[in-house]
Structure 1
Amino acid sequence: MEARTVSSSGASAPARVIAVLGMHRSGTSCLTGTLQDAGLSMGDIHTWNKHNEKGNRENQQFVDLHDQILEANGGAWDDPPEKVNWRETHVAAAKTLLASHAEDASFGFKDPRALLVLDGWKAIFPSLEFVGIYRHPNAVAKSLAKRSSKTREESLKLWYAYNRSLYREYKRKPFPILCFDDEESVLDSKIHRVADEMGFSHGENKEKFYTAALKHNDSSGDSPLPWRVKRLLRKLEKAGL
């Protein structure tokens, strides 16, 4: 199995690494689960929690590392720092994580926090690939209110911080971005088209990972969006599939 060295020390990694990018409560789990079903290796991930019937599809080791990096920079997932620097210990931990999956031809990880610490991953693995997803800010705010007791103002601020990073990365080098607000059949079709284009095959006999039952909030019945949030949403809509 081909492996790519990622440092002068000879640490190895999978031949291909894919990061699933998106804000919390924005459909990253559905996108990740579908790609996993299509053949993307994800390692040891969460497959159930009370907020997500099929699990958030996150590898806890990646989540813990991202939390440590954010904390070291005076922030957290819900308090994005202005600037993020990786310490040598963080770089070493990340290389070890990738090396532990060196036998996988294609390996992926998903954690919304990755959007806040992405420059470090790109420095470690320059050929890192991306696929992203976004959701209407009002729907995210409703979901965060239920899960994390966030006010609408707090949630919209977080939505902007995460999705600004998503859009900036897209502008540097475009990659597929999906919209979790699409109806089930449309989103399902788009995800599988992306999977095919990335070299993965879903298989006709497999049960669908994503169904509309996994989505519990929509964007209806809320106050108008702040202008900068609305403007970023429009940019994502133009960039998306």
Structure 2
Amino acid sequence: MEASSTSGLQGDHPSRTICVLGMHRSGTSCLTGSLQEAGLQLGDCHTWNPFNLKGNRENQAFVDLHDAILEANGGSWDHPPANVQWSERHLAMGRELVAAHSHLPVMGFKDPRTLLVLEGWQQLEPKMEFVGIFRHPNAVAASLARRSKMKRKEALRLWYEYNKRLLNAFRRTPFPVLCFDASEQEFQQHLAGVIKTLELQPAEVGENFYDGDLKNFDHQSSGRLPLKVGYLYKRLKAICV
């Protein structure tokens, strides 16, 4: 991936915009926080919540916009619409959000809902760069059961809907994709490669956003996967770095 220069700004846009893509409870916060340590600038983002003690690193303005778009299309984060259209008002709100961060040389944002509304962002920011992450369906289902009291069947359905969109986005324009099921050592090695690809700066020695103590579920969680869910997981494993 050829990254554009980080020097100078382009009118009401940051020089670069990097978006983290991934399903809820799939390591997106860990990846985003790690990229933030490497120089990705997130603006005003959440740095703590009860289910993520280091914060989900989400900018609430982006989350609110995505929720509004989903609601206007008859859906929500846990009931993804089959098709999503951005209204002119939503496009204007997106432009305003980007313009509000135009002073940042390398702007980043993360919200799992982005996968459900991605086409609008690609229309607004054709040069937007992406990095993705995924996690085993069983681990995601266990985490959603704890956080949202979500039943396993519903969680697996949701995992499929989000990660189907992740794979489709990769097929359109390939970008780095990490697997959160990797060991800490493997994850850090692959993360270092992604940081280099994105032309960010490695974090200072001793700084490490990854915290294994906060990773409460693994892919060994019990339960046989539906055929299409297991197949999609294998397809994602085949494209990850």
In the superposition, the TM-score normalised over structure 2's length comes to 0.95
Give yes or no for contact 2:142–2:221 (8 Å, CA) kept in 1.
no
Unpaired runs of at least 5, structure 2: 1-6
Report the residue type matching 1:95 in the other structure: R
Partner of 1:156: 156
Distance 2:225 2:44 in 1: 38
User: How much has 1:13 moved relative to structure 2?
Assistant: 1.1
1:2 aligns with 8
Q: Is the 8 A contact 1:138 1:220 kept in 2?
A: yes
Please name the residue that 1:8 is paired with.
none
How much has 1:219 moved relative to structure 2? 2.1
Deviation at 1:204, TM superposition (A): 3.7
- The amino acid of 2:71's aligned partner reads E
Corresponding residue for residue 177 of structure 2: 177
Q: 1:9 is matched with which residue?
A: none
Aligned amino acid, residue 74 of structure 2: G
Distance of 2:229 and 2:96 partners within structure 1: 37
What is the total number of aligned residue pairs between the two structures? Answer: 235
Cα pair 2:21 2:131 within 8 Å, conserved = yes
- If the length of structure 1 is used for normalisation, what is the TM-score? 0.95
Across the aligned residues of Structure 1 and Structure 2, the Cα RMSD in angstroms comes to 1.0
What are the ranges of 5 or more consecutive residues in structure 1 without an aligned counterpart? 6-11
Partner of 1:236: 236
Displacement of 1:206 after TM fit? 4.1
Alpha-carbon displacement from aligned partner over 1:99-152 (angstroms, at most 9, x marks no partner): 011111110000000000000000001011100000000000000000001100
CA distance in 2, matches of 1:65, 1:196: 31
Matches within 5 A, 1:81-92: 81-92=81-92
CA distance in 1, matches of 2:206, 2:87: 42
The superposition leaves residues 163-183 of structure 1 with CA deviations (integer Å, 9 ceiling, x where unpaired) of: 000000001111000000101
- Runs of 4+ aligned residues of structure 1 deviating over 6 Å after TM superposition are none
* Alpha-carbon contact 2:139-2:221 (below 8 Å) kept: no
Distance 2:38 2:223 in 1: 39
**1:114 match:** 114
